[in-house]
Amino acid sequence: MSTTPPEHGAPVPNREPAEQAAPTMPPPLARPNIHVSALIVWLTIFPLVAIVGMVSEPLVTGWHPVLRALVLTLIVVPIAAYWVMPLMFKGYAALERRRATRRAEKRGA
């Protein structure tokens, strides 16, 4: 039988030295629990409702309460959903990453 010469064998993966390997990224953080999410949503919605409600008060005085609520939510919900809440969740994620880094440093020290 014939044998395969080494230069025609299976390819050997190119391995880099450990010091040249790409740095590993930390694992993504888990989503905040339901209580933290509810707090973030409340901290977003309450100030927006209070501010938009006070600013719009002269315009909607005398309107039916349901119509006032409709107009208020038509303004507040898109602002909260597309702009403010994503910023709040990004801020929370940054805070959690900082806390995780500090905990890891304490364990390593």
Tell me the per-residue pLDDT of 38-62, one tens digit each, with 9 for 90 and over: 999 999 999 999 999 999 999 999 9
Residue 6 has pLDDT above 80, yes or no: no
- What percentage of residues in the chain have a pLDDT greater than 70? 72
CA dihedral of 54, 76, 90, 30, whole degrees rounded to 10: 120
* pLDDT of 5: 61
- The span from the CA of 26 to the CA of 97, in Å, is 9
- The span from the CA of 56 to the CA of 51, in Å, is 9
* pLDDT of 89: 95
**Mean pLDDT value across the chain:** 85
- Classified as helix, coil or strand, 6 is helix
* pLDDT of 107: 87
Residue 101 has pLDDT above 70, yes or no: yes
Residue 23 has pLDDT above 60, yes or no: no
- The span from the CA of 31 to the CA of 28, in Å, is 9
How remote is the C-alpha of 30 from its chain's centroid?
10
Closest Cα partner for 50 from 86, 11, 87, 76? 76
Residue 108 has pLDDT above 90, yes or no: no
Residue 35 has pLDDT above 90, yes or no: yes
* pLDDT of 49: 97
For 9, which DSSP code?
S
